[in-house]
Copies of this chain bind each other. A is one copy, B any other.
């Protein structure tokens, strides 16, 4: 299959190489010359020391997005969520009907925002499909400009698309490459089952001094998430669940998710995390200017709080985390985050009834 990858960071080059080694014709794009140079020079990407290895030849590596996506049946966007807006603006004029774009992952409201921009920028499109994965399929790291190591590949990755009616077409195509991709009906399910929103900003904020004074040299999960932190995370999780309930979409608590993803069971988030050996050895970010805040606050917590406003569900703890992130980073993440209007939702148009969620099944 002809596929395109947008983004050449840890995830992007891993996915591009992996798909090529699976026999697909892969093109890769990044707007950054320094990210693309070596891939262009070598003509491909090396996967080393991981669960997939080999030299993966690229059909094309380029900083020109129009060339990279031309004729691609599937376009995988593998970039920080705060880049989705720019990528949508850049890609919109060049998209063709029946192409499928998947954000890996979308965080919260990624596909909604991406679709809104694409529709506004390219009014000729009639049957474009925009989707989002709930998480990135890989645990991987870029180890050189054209080299990556894939440590692990998830067994299951939920995804959903807009319009929801296109899910079968999308599923068929994606599963040819990634049988792990499991379709969900409603884009709000992938958007609200956002566990990064729980595990990323608050533990960084409540370990801010330790991150700064030790340069992140402590166990992020096992030392950074103590009983008190667990309590705070449970408040955030409860608010996320309330928002999902208010929207009428299926969801899972973080405790349920930890059980499904890692098989650990316990009565509290703290207990489950302590039992999860997969989290051993994961160190904290080395400084407080981390994507755990700069990505997950505006692209996860802000849209969750915004969905809360839509259905009149209060999110005081989430609001507090957003405010603290603003102080710490000197930003206005609420204003610059994914707001309802960015996701193409007008509260006035939204009627809060039992079929509320169906409003998002475009």
Contact = CB atoms under 8 A, between A and B. Distances in A.
Given A206-B205, A208-B206, A228 B328 contact: yes
Contacts of A205: 206
Interface stretch (A19-27, A170-178, A256-264, A317-325): A317-325
A316 interface: yes
Interface string A205-219: 111111011000010
Contact of A210 (B210, B232, B317, B323): B210
A361 interface: no
A231 interface: yes
Contacts of A227: 212
B206 A225 contact: no
Nearest to A214: B223
A290 to B, nearest CB: 11
B213 A209 contact: no
A133 interface: no
A332 to B, nearest CB: 13
Contacts of A235: 327
A288 interface: yes
Contact of A228 (B209, B218, B231, B317): B209
A171 B288 CA distance: 49
A323 to B, nearest CB: 6
> Which of A228, A229, A235 has the most B CB atoms < 10 Å from its CB?
A228
A248 interface: no
Nearest to A208: B228
A63 interface: no
Contact of A209 (B226, B328, B330): B226
A17 B173 CA distance: 83
A327 B206 contact: no
A224 interface: yes
Contact of A223 (B209, B218, B228, B232): B209
Contact of A320 (B206, B218, B223, B320): B320
A213 to B, nearest CB: 4
Interface in A301-353: 316-317, 320, 323-324, 327-328, 330
Interface in A219-272: 223-229, 231-232, 235
A203 interface: yes
Nearest to A224: B209
Interface of A: 203, 205-210, 212-213, 218, 223-229, 231-232, 235, 288, 316-317, 320, 323-324, 327-328, 330
12 contacts: A205-B206, A207-B207, A207-B210, A209-B210, A209-B224, A228-B288, A231-B328, A232-B324, A232-B328, A317-B327, A320-B320, A320-B324
